[in-house]
Structure 1
């Protein structure tokens, strides 16, 4: 398993994977230095993450290979269907997955997403529109949602 650390506006991000795909992308809360060299297997993911933060990319197309249960992978696949700049509630996501009663299990799977930003768990909000828990910190969730849906400048004339 190869690893690289890249600098992003939200902190140093760990990218982990191999020839089978990227298994983990995670923002680190501790101090770490960016990698001086990116392994070939991780280069495309690193490039696409940088393009995302530069506002040049709104989707990702590198190979993913996350570890998780079948249910978690089902939830993560549903997250991939949430369009850039949009949000969905945990309730709506549970309905979409076919079981409104599974809302807690869906929220738990969402919280265990190992592919930060790429599998957009930050796009899931509370039914009342509130920013609910986020493993990377609510300030990062707010930043990501604003990055994907910046306020429109109003014309004065």
Structure 2
């Protein structure tokens, strides 16, 4: 005959673990915090896997971009001078149908992406000394490029 001795401590710990697993399972079944049950329902039209760039409407002029850079100390004040283009703020959602002539700019400093720009004037602070190359490209609100960019080199002394 085998005698199995279970300590009271192990019995209590096993009961606590079982209780936690049961409560978590019930919570997930009732609450559905990840909305798993809704994940296969189509609420909005889906975004196509490969979006084609918008064609320029016949009645609209192609946007243009120039850049003015003023350096003072280790700060560069940049003004983006555009024609036929309007900066629009990011509303947090990807636009299904972008509007030609509207969007934002992508900023690259020394070849590295630094962010998106939603207004024509901004500052770059705490730049290290030396020569820098600033590249800005215009994009639709869904991040597709207009293939319009401006590049300018400047020196921080």
TM-score normalised by L of structure 1: 0.24
Larger Rg: 2
Q: Which has the higher strand share?
A: 2
Larger helix percent: 1
Taking structure 2 as the reference length, what is the TM-score of the superposition?
A: 0.24
